[in-house]
Structure 1
Amino acid sequence: MTELVRDDVLGNGFKSMDLLHSDDYEGKVKSVLVFRPTDLDSSKAILYVHGYIDYFFQEELADHFNKWGFNFYAVDLRKYGRAMMPHQRPNYTRRIDEYFEDIDAAIEQIKVDGNTEMILMGHSTGGLISSLYMNKVKDDYIKALLLNSPFFELNFSKIARRFLPLFMLFGKYFQNMRVNILPENYPQSLHKDYKGEWDFNIKWKPIVNYPMYFTWLRAIRKGHIELQSGLDIKVPILVMYSDKSYKKSIWSDDIRVSDGVLDVKHIAKYADLIGKDVTKIEVVDAIHDMILSKKKVRDRVYTEMFNWIKLKGLV
């Protein structure tokens, strides 16, 4: 079920609408669809799924897809960004497939808008969610999957990995238990008021340390196990990632040219297991959200992305 279309907080021609879902264990639930059509005559669409502690604000991504003749859509998943409701725990989930209803509803609206085919794109945790979704939902309407630094494995130290079974038990039996362990270097490297160039809502994408629920971690780990066992995604897949990861816990300018969240070796390794038609592209000096890299780097990201889209006959 959808509600009325409204001007989005981004302005610049973006609109948004609430997508209302079945109540869950916390009560009422919604996701939010953000969209802007291309000026060209087109019935092709792109749907973007954001990452963890995130929401859609990457206007330049929409600019590029609009220019190439795609009607642009992005979904703020339940309990994230625009979709947060007062009674909800931020970014909380018990199962990854809870998000499938959000994607289903977004795709239904994309169809209602007259689009005849689409590409699904996911960043980080959104890449994991999108991959598992594509493995379960065999919809010919979706022609390709684009993955921007997908979250295919936990970037834990050897010591932290020893405690993973305990964390999984915490997530199962203590569903409000949380811990502040997420590094602040990466979000600080992005925001213009800290050490970056981008402007975004720090209530929706916080800069300071943010609680991680063990229940969320348990859901993610189960998703990783499923993905690493092998998926059977039928459509062409593009997996893009940086050439290096940032391992330090303290600030260094190296984080501006590295993935400061994930181990890129994990991405390269597990990308081979998700489908038969997988293209992997390593981009020198890209950061975790590749489309927020320095301009020269993100220009290459877009060039590689749209060259692949053209190669696959999708534009």
Structure 2
Amino acid sequence: MSEPQPSASSQVPLLWQPDALLGESFDQAKLGPATLVRHVPAGARPEPRAVVLHVHGYNDYFHQAHLAHAFDRAGHAFYAVDLRAAGRSLRESQVPHFVGDLREQAADIDEAARAVRELHPGLPLVVHAHSTGGLTAAWWAHARRNTLPDGSYRGPDLLVLNSPFLDLPGTLFERTVGTVLLRIAAPASPHRVITSGPSVYATHLLAANGGRWEFDTRFKKPGGQPTLALWMRAVRRVQWHLWVRGFRIPVPVLVARSDASGPDRHDNPRLDEQDTVLDVEQIARRSRSLGADVTQLVVPGAVHDLSLSADGPRTEYLGKLFAWLEERL
């Protein structure tokens, strides 16, 4: 399959306005079909050591203000992108998260990376990406492995993948024969529902249900976001490329995950200490095909988004992430 192509450089200035979802110390600006969010720390700050771009996953958007504050305390400028049809970027006519080709979302990452590099010229770019965003960001980094004819490099300088969606949980039949059938049938029925149902994971995280975190349930739905045929085909095409051919990401990659997976059910007593969305062993296996310099970080007791884990695992994740950045920067 063809790889994402570089976006054309734009001279249109970003029009920043206060971010209504996170409020004080956050701004947002439209970036084509996507939305760029920035953290604006109060008071004087030393020159940042790097600029971080966060990429969310499926049934998700950027809401982790504490993550931005943590990167700020570690000395890094922080930005996040809400991809097209997600979160702040969702339009009334759109099906949430629905794209027929991950090159569309890769183009959003490309444009966001270009924008933050222009805002912070000369600083290393760290892309921090979660779940499906981790898959798309890894593919984008693979596609950006070479310099452009003008000698510029458009990929990340460091890539952090937080529980990336590198393979489809399920049986071997579902992941092979099922994928072939999906590839044939999806164009004819692009909106056919492949899976649906509540997200016990999101339900458990929400403060209103006794969890730790506040988020807008229009954009991260406890009721779940159905997966549609053409979207799933787009995901499987990129995962298949990783499985069969591998990626050649030219920069250091940190792949972080929980130490255990479990069922996404209310009767799971370990909902607060397992990845109940993806298979962590699959993440471990597939991450070996990302590039030549891949470090695996296993965080005991973490949930699917390690940055939303309980205090202990979350502190361990961020501490080891920042130590890795210090070493590699």
Q: TM-score, length-normalised on structure 2? A: 0.87
Which residue identity is paired with 2:297?
I
Number of equivalent positions:
304
Matches within 5 A, 1:1-315: 1=12, 3-8=14-19, 9-20=21-32, 30-37=33-40, 39-42=45-48, 44-116=50-122, 117-138=124-145, 139=153, 142-157=156-171, 160-161=174-175, 163-228=178-243, 229-247=245-263, 249-312=265-328, 314=329
Give the distance between the partners of 2:114 and 2:103, measured in 1 at CA. 17
| Alignment root-mean-square deviation, CA | 1.8
Q: Aligned partners of 1:210, 1:105: CA distance in 2, in Å?
A: 26
Provide, for residues 101-124 of structure 1, a one-character-per-residue CA deviation record: whole Å limited to 9, x for no partner.
Answer: 211221222122134221111100
Cα distance, 1:244–1:14 mapped onto 2, change above 3 Å: same
One-letter code aligned to 2:137: S
Question: Counterpart of 1:151 in structure 2: which amino acid?
Answer: F
Identify unmatched segments of 5+ residues in structure 1: 21-29
Structure 1 counterpart of 2:37, which letter?
Answer: V
Give the counterpart letter for 2:214 in structure 1.
Answer: D
Whole-angstrom distance in 2 between the partners of 1:190 and 1:2: 37
**1:23 corresponding residue in structure 2:** none
Instruction: Judge which range, 98-107 or 146-155, deviates more.
Output: 98-107
- Return the letter of the residue paired with 2:277: V
Q: Which moved more, 1:248-257 or 1:277-286?
A: 248-257
Q: Mind listing any 5+ residue stretches in structure 2 that lack a counterpart?
A: 1-11, 146-152
State whether residues 259 and 299 of structure 2, in contact with CA within 8 Å, keep that contact through their aligned partners in structure 1: yes
Alpha-carbon shift at residue 77 of structure 1 (Å): 0.2
Change in 2 beyond 3 A, CA 1:105/1:163 = closer
Q: In structure 2, do the counterparts of structure 1 residues 192 and 248 end up closer, same or farther at CA, with 3 Å as the change threshold?
A: closer
Q: Compute the displacement of 1:213 (Å).
A: 0.9
CA gap of 1:175–1:248, structure 2 versus 1, over 3 A, is: closer
Instruction: Quote the offset at 1:134 in angstroms.
Output: 0.3
The whole-number CA distance in structure 2 between the counterparts of 1:182 and 1:92 is 17
AA at the equivalent of 1:155 = P
Deviations for 1:122-181, whole angstroms, at most 9, x for unmatched residues? 100010001000000133662100010010001124575454433333322211222442
Q: Tell whether the 8 Å contact from 1:43 to 1:115 is kept in structure 2 after alignment.
A: no
Contact between 1:127 and 1:150, CA under 8 Å: does it hold in 2?
A: yes
Q: Judging changes above 3 Å, is the alpha-carbon distance between structure 1 residues 2 and 52 closer, same or farther for their aligned structure 2 residues?
A: farther
Partner of 1:27: none
CA contact (8 A) 2:53 2:128 kept: yes
Contact 1:241–1:281 (CA<8 Å) still a contact in 2? Answer: yes
Runs of 4+ in 1 over 6 A off after TM superposition: none
Structure 1 residues 177-213: Cα deviation after superposition (integer angstroms, max 9, x where no partner):
2244245211111111124111100001111132211
Give the 3 Å change call, closer, same or farther, for CA 159–65 of structure 1 in structure 2.
Answer: same
1:24 maps to none
Identity of aligned residues (%): 31
Instruction: Encode CA deviations 1:252-281: one digit per residue, 9 max, x unaligned.
Output: 231110001000000100111111111001
Deviation larger for 256-265 or 166-175: 166-175
SS of corresponding position for 2:168: coil
1-structure distance, mates of 2:291, 2:217:
36
Alpha-carbon distance in 2 for matches of 1:209, 1:110: 32
